[in-house]
Amino acid sequence: MTAPGDEQQGMEAALADIGERLNRGEPEALEDAYRTLGPLVMSYLGRYVPQPDIQDVMQRVFYELWRVHERFDPQQSLRAWTLGIARKRAIDHLRKRRDVVVPLDSMREITGDDGREIAERLVWADEVRAALDQLPDVQREVIELAYFESYTQTEISAALDVPLGTVKTRTARGLQRLAGLLESTRGR
């Protein structure tokens, strides 16, 4: 019987080997990465992407993994790098799907006869989204993960493979810039 720690070490060693081969451009390494990390990526995407779209997004994740394989540093975690790509592709997918048409009757059910408050919130949400889109990618990314995905700063650090201090700095600067953008929007 194998101890759980031994099993984990074996998995990490296998992923390290796959990462090195992937970095060298060996096509079989992509197959091994898909076989090894596919269930984890699918589970991760299942938390954010609608069920019918998971396979499409997953294909994009592994396509990108192959497309940028030479950028992977074999000294880093292949799991974290792959999940970072998965997170970015999930966010891209959700951004594309965010313009959802809602029938007016169903809006009336939600808002009642006087929907001004809800309408104001929707306008505010659009202004926030527009301001977020103006932030540098690195700042927007940490803010979206923290506030929309409920990641802790430690989780963001691991997912992006950056130091915790960098996450804190990006968050603080991003929020400061976001506040300025929203203030100028409201001041018009």
Q: What is the pLDDT of residue 41?
A: 92
Q: Regarding predicted confidence, which is higher, 158 or 85?
A: 85
d(Cα 124, Cα 15) in Å, to the nearest integer?
44
Provide mean pLDDT across the span 77-103.
79
Average pLDDT of every residue of the chain: 82
Q: What is the pLDDT of residue 118?
A: 60
- Domain spans of the chain, in order of start: 4-96, 104-186
Q: Which fold has domain 4-96?
A: Rna Polymerase Sigma Factor; Chain: A (1.10.1740)
Structure-token pair, residue 20: 């090195």
d(Cα 139, Cα 142) in Å, to the nearest integer?
6
Q: How many Å separate Cα 159 from the centre of its chain? A: 9
What is the band of 56 on the pLDDT scale with cuts at 50, 70, 90? very high
What is the band of 139 on the pLDDT scale with cuts at 50, 70, 90? very high
pLDDT exceeds 60 at position 2: no
Q: What is the pLDDT of residue 108?
A: 54
pLDDT exceeds 90 at position 38: yes
CATH label, 104-186, candidates 3.30.360.10, 3.40.30.10, 1.10.10.10, 3.60.70.12: 1.10.10.10
Q: Regarding predicted confidence, which is higher, 188 or 182?
A: 182
Q: What is the pLDDT of residue 155?
A: 84
d(Cα 110, Cα 105) in Å, to the nearest integer?
9
Q: Regarding predicted confidence, which is higher, 90 or 123?
A: 90
The 3-state secondary structure of the chain, one letter per residue: CCCHHHHHHHHHHHHHHHHHHHHHCCHHHHHHHHHHHHHHHHHHHHCCCCHHHHHHHHHHHHHHHHHCHHHCCCCCCHHHHHHHHHHHHHHHHHHHCCCCCCCHHHHHHHHCCCCHHHHHHHHHHHHHHHHHHHCCHHHHHHHHHHHCCCCCHHHHHHHHCCCHHHHHHHHHHHHHHHHHHHHHHHCC
Percent over 70 (pLDDT), the chain: 80
